[in-house]
Amino acid sequence: MAVTKDQILDATERRIRDGGYGGFSFRDVAADVGIKSASVHHHFPTKTDLSAAVARRYTDRLIEAVQGVPDEKRIGEWRQIFRNALRQDGRMCLCGILGAESGALPEPVVAEAKRFFQLATKTIADKDTVHQDTGLRVFAALEGAMLMARAMDDPDVFDRATASLG
Partner DNA sequence: GTCTATAATTTGATAGAC
Partner DNA sequence: GTCTATCAAATTATAGAC
C-alpha distances (whole Å) from 154 to each of 28, 89, 145, 159 are: 26, 12, 11, 10
Q: 4, 7, 10, 20: which one contacts a copy of itself (CB under 8 A)? A: 20
* Residue 162 contact among a copy of itself, DNA, none, beta carbon within 5 to 8 Å by kind: a copy of itself
How many residues of this chain bind DNA (CB under 7 A)?
Answer: 22
Q: Is residue 5 part of the contact set for DNA (CB under 7 A)?
A: yes
Q: What number of CA atoms fall less than 13 Å from residue 76's CA on the CB side?
A: 6
Chain-centroid distance of CA 154 in Å reads: 19
Q: How far apart are CB 78 and DNA at their closest, in Å?
A: 30
Segment near a copy of itself (CB under 8 A), from 29-37, 61-69, 70-78, 84-92?
84-92
Collapsing DSSP states into helix, strand and coil, what is residue 2? coil
Q: Is residue 47 part of the contact set for a copy of itself (CB under 8 A)?
A: no
* Residue 56 contact among a copy of itself, DNA, none, beta carbon within 5 to 8 Å by kind: none
Q: 43, 110, 123, 124: which one contacts a copy of itself (CB under 8 A)? A: 110
Q: Nearest Cα to 141, choosing from 87, 90, 96?
A: 96
Amino acid occupying residue 70: P
- Distance (Å, whole) CA 126 – CA 19: 33
DSSP per-residue codes, 87-124: HHH----HHHHHHHTGGGS-HHHHHHHHHHHHHHHHTT
| Span 33-92, contacts to DNA by CB under 7 A | 34-39, 41-43, 45-48
Collapsing DSSP states into helix, strand and coil, what is residue 157? helix
Which stretches of the chain bind a copy of itself, using CB under 8 A?
17-24, 90-92, 95-105, 110, 113-114, 116-118, 131-133, 136-137, 139-145, 147-148, 150-153, 157, 160-164
Which stretches of the chain bind DNA, using CB under 7 A?
2, 4-5, 24-28, 30, 34-39, 41-43, 45-48
